[in-house]
Structure 1
Amino acid sequence: MQSVKKSICPARSVLNLLKGKYTLEILSEIIDGNIHYGTLLRSVEGINPRILAQRLRDFEQEGILSRKVLPTSPPQVEYKMTNKGIALRSIVDEMKKWEKTYGD
């Protein structure tokens, strides 16, 4: 059996979570409250619906957000940050500040 090599940097798992395409854009939209799939699709410029659905599934599996199907016609899906997801707010905010200060 091959042993799993631990990362030298303890922040690696967070970086791996945030490195996906459109991840920060999606989190930035959801982090301030509940939001529907269609709203996300319209507000994250250039995102493919398949990519959005995959990223949302990834976040749900990681425990970053919860998904609720609303009893409407047609059905709507609402996403809400979990406590684990809300804890990412300060990281996302700091990344935005860094970009404003040092970004190109």
Structure 2
Amino acid sequence: MSALEYTPYVADCPSRQLLDRIGDRWSVLTIGSLVDGPQRYSTIANRVEGVSQKMLTQTLRALERDGLVTRTVFPEIPPHVEYELTDRGRSLRNVLEPLERWATEHMDDVAESRAEYDAR
């Protein structure tokens, strides 16, 4: 299947899986936490408040599997591991950053809309 044949509106299109990944809250925040360069696991965990150890580990593995993040193990004792965005991950970050900005800029309006809806 060539890139021109992928359409997420078709039920079995694999691009839906990718959209699930990049639309996931923990993926978006993990990618954002890596914008400043390579980070250790603990640094990512501290930046992404509320993510469990299990969920962060799963997210990092999935992002690595999709070629968005690289994992580098340094042969030290104790082992030193760093995660970094790949070129593909950085290109995705360029798309996600405006989405994050939109969410924070419109949160007050959305909260107001929710309150009005819930009051009906």
Same fold at TM > 0.5: yes
Q: Using a 3 Å threshold, how does the CA distance of structure 1 residues 21 and 99 change in structure 2: closer, same or farther?
A: closer
Alignment of 1:17-28 (within 5 A): 17-28=21-32
Q: Max radius of gyration: which structure? A: 2
User: 1:37: how far off?
Assistant: 0.7
The one-letter amino acid of 2:76's match is: T
- Matched residues in 1 for 2:89 and 2:26: separation? 16
* Counterparts of 2:16 and 2:43, CA distance in 1: 31
Q: Quote the residue 1:8 is aligned against.
A: 9
Partner of 1:72, secondary structure, is coil
1:15-65 per-position Cα deviation (integer Å, ceiling 9, x unaligned): 322232422211111122100111112221111111111000000000001
Cα–Cα, structure 1 residues 14 and 101, in superposed 2: closer, same or farther, change >3 Å? farther
Aligned-residue CA RMSD in angstroms? Answer: 2.4
Check the 8 A contact 2:45/2:53 in 1, yes or no: yes
The CA deviation at 1:83 is: 0.8
Could you tell me how far apart the structure 2 residues matched to 1:13 and 1:48 are?
22
AA partner of residue 22 (structure 1): W
In the alignment, residue 89 of structure 2 is paired with which amino acid? G
Question: Where does the alignment leave 5 or more consecutive residues of structure 2 unmatched?
Answer: 1-5, 109-120
What aligned pairs does 1:72-87 form with structure 2 within 5 A after superposition? Answer: 72-87=76-91
Give TM-score scaled by structure 2 length: 0.72
Q: TM-score scaled to structure 1, two decimals? A: 0.81
Rounded Cα–Cα distance in structure 2 between residues aligned with 1:29 and 1:94: 15
Instruction: Output the CA distance in 1 between the equivalents of 2:96 and 2:18.
Output: 11
The percentage of aligned residue pairs carrying the same residue is 29
Deviation at 1:12, TM superposition (A): 4.8
- Higher relative contact order (CA closer than 8 Å, sequence separation 6+): 1
